[in-house]
Amino acid sequence: MKLITFQEFDNIFQKNVANVFTFYNDTMQLETGQHNAGWLPGRIDLHQYVKSSAIRYYKIYCHLVENNVQSVCDVGGFFSAFPLTLHQLGFSVTMTEALKYYSESFTPLFNYVRSNGVTIVDYDPFEEPFHGNTTYDAVFALAVIEHYPHSLSFFLNNLKSMMHRSGIMVIDVPNIAYLRKRLRFLFGKTPLTHAATIYDSKIPFIGHHHEYTMEELLEVMNKANLNVVTKFYLNYSPSRIISVKNFLKNPVSSLLFMIFPNLRETIGVISKKR
């Protein structure tokens, strides 16, 4: 499969974001925000967040091409723009969602995703073993594990059972050692989800329970009997992307991001079974 440029990828991805968000409304955001008040309307611009994620997803796409991946499973692919983009780029794409957590207001969105070539499997790998007969060249959980407060042993074993023997697992997660969080903590601001956000959320809270350092992520993969073959660090927020424009605006932070990758916003690993 031929690797396309970021601009080419972004053009396809942004069209999918626009199409997906024709189905997304305040009612749906209110529903998803019940158990994470940080997602409520007015507290976050989910549309802009997904649009900005193109950089994260392009990084994953590049690794898929480099590893000659043909079939993928996106675990928790809710917003769906990335699975739709991968399908249009020639991958066989499945995404999992625990559909019991969604009301009928989400049905048109999921029907649209299915009608555009992405298979949706009703499955929660945090709660039940994988019983499917299909395995995939790549299984990924992107911005997922930080929402889970318990041991990842069961979850990662389920993801391993979804992989071909020679397949890859891709995990990315917010970096708790991100430069901005370090600076906020230096001035007495928590790097964790604010207690007021948790207070305003229904039980169970499904926001960020545990963000990771790279050292933690590597240790978790080791405990899961996975060999990490690639580590990656990136910024995707527009003001944090490493670029000439941002360097001129914020030369110190830009230089720090270039010299010390572990200060960047997101960290991730690609692993294979031992």
**pLDDT tens digits along 5-15:** 999 999 999 99
**Residue 179, helix vs strand vs coil:** helix
d(CA 189, CA 185) in angstroms, rounded, equals 5
Mean pLDDT within 208-231: 98
**Whether pLDDT at 247 is above 90:** no
250-to-25, 74, 101, 244 alpha-carbon distances in Å: 35, 35, 42, 10
* Superfamily of structural domain 6-273: Vaccinia Virus protein VP39 (3.40.50.150)
Domain boundaries, the chain: 6-273
**Residue 266, helix vs strand vs coil:** strand
**Whether pLDDT at 131 is above 90:** no
Determine the straight-line distance between the first and last CA of the chain, rounded to whole angstroms.
26
pLDDT grade for 200, boundaries at 50, 70 and 90: very high
48 token code pair:
């802009």
**Whether pLDDT at 69 is above 90:** yes
12 token code pair:
């396809």
- Output Rg (C-alpha) for the chain, integer angstroms: 18
**Whether pLDDT at 79 is above 90:** no
pLDDT at 240: 85
The mean of the pLDDT values for the chain is 95
To which H or E segment does residue 93 belong?
strand 92-97
| Rounded percentage of the chain residues whose pLDDT exceeds 90 | 85
- 193 — phi, psi (to 5°)? -60, 135
pTM: 0.94
pLDDT at 100: 84
d(CA 233, CA 177) in angstroms, rounded, equals 11
Q: 48-81: b or e for each residue (b if 16 or more CB lie within 10 Å)?
A: eebbbbbbbbbbbbebbeebebebbbbbbbbbbb
**Whether pLDDT at 1 is above 90:** no
Mean pLDDT within 183-204: 96
Least confident of 42-51, 84-93, 214-223: 42-51
d(CA 272, CA 274) in angstroms, rounded, equals 6
**Residue 165, helix vs strand vs coil:** strand
d(CA 61, CA 21) in angstroms, rounded, equals 22
